[in-house]
Amino acid sequence: MKNNISEIVKTFKSYYENKENNIILLHGDSISLLSKFPSESIDVVFADPPYFLSSGGITCHAGRMVSVNKAKWDESKNINEIHEFNRKWLDEVKRILKEDGALWISGTLHNIYSVGLALQQLDYKILNDIIWYKRNAPPNLSTRYFTHSTETILWARKSQKSKHYFNYSLMKEINKGKQMRNLWDITAPPKNEKKFGKHPTQKPLELLERVILASTEEGDLVLDPFVGSGTTCIVALRLRRKCIGIDIDKEYLNLAVKRIDDELKNQKLF
């Protein structure tokens, strides 16, 4: 099966579909939906799973104190429940990745160590831990620890023996002729990327552009099982990749649809 996106999702009811540009959004529980995907059908997965931070704490947004609570999908769980969740979705991703497929996962200290352990338990090959430095991160209001200004992105291939794709020369070109390191200085999403609304863990377009350019070729199929506001789909559109996004929250899927339609509108203007 060569990236036939319609064949892959033929048993699903799409929440949004643009056949011309090979973009599909699905609504529902990621683990349940992933279990229905054909084996070895996806080239690359980018995942930003729940951080399980919604525990009644506070954080800073736009200079104001706000609650960290996001939604039911992000409610705090004990470590065993978190790890079981990570094992389940990563196991399904391993099954649906092609033989030489790869996976990127973004996270914070709240979930990334469980993710890393699960990757090793499931016999993925971890390639890099990318440190994403957000130079415009919000301040720490409690003054009881250092300001959180990074996230970790784990890059792994399907197995120890598989052969992942890496566009080394392009990454070197982007980095002004020098080998690109695993410290990426990229700002959090600017205001213009949130004009239709915002997702609490929204990723900047620049970050996804680097991920997708580094590990895919034109025509490849990218899956985002926690698609949120649709950043992965927008970047896939720009770079002529196919994309399937899944989310359990219709509010964020509606936001993703607005952003995708706006991107398509802007592309027609130029």
Average pLDDT, the chain: 90
pTM: 0.89
Per-residue pLDDT at 13: 94
DSSP bridge pairs for 97: 42
Question: With 70 as the cut, is the pLDDT of residue 68 above it?
Answer: no
What CATH number is attached to the domain comprising 184?
3.40.50.150
Share of the chain above pLDDT 90, in %: 77
Per-residue pLDDT at 60: 47
Model confidence over 181-220: pLDDT tens digits?
Answer: 999 999 999 999 999 998 888 999 999 999 999 999 999 9
Per-residue pLDDT at 7: 86
DSSP bridge pairs for 65: 60
Model confidence over 87-133: pLDDT tens digits?
Answer: 999 999 999 999 999 999 999 998 999 999 999 999 999 999 999 99
- Split at pLDDT 50, 70, 90, the class of 242 is very high
CA dist list (Å): 121 to 83, 91, 93, 115, 129:
11, 10, 14, 10, 17
- Split at pLDDT 50, 70, 90, the class of 1 is very low
Model confidence over 194-204: pLDDT tens digits?
Answer: 999 988 889 99
- The whole domain housing 75 covers 5-269
Question: What total of structural domains would you count in the chain?
Answer: 1
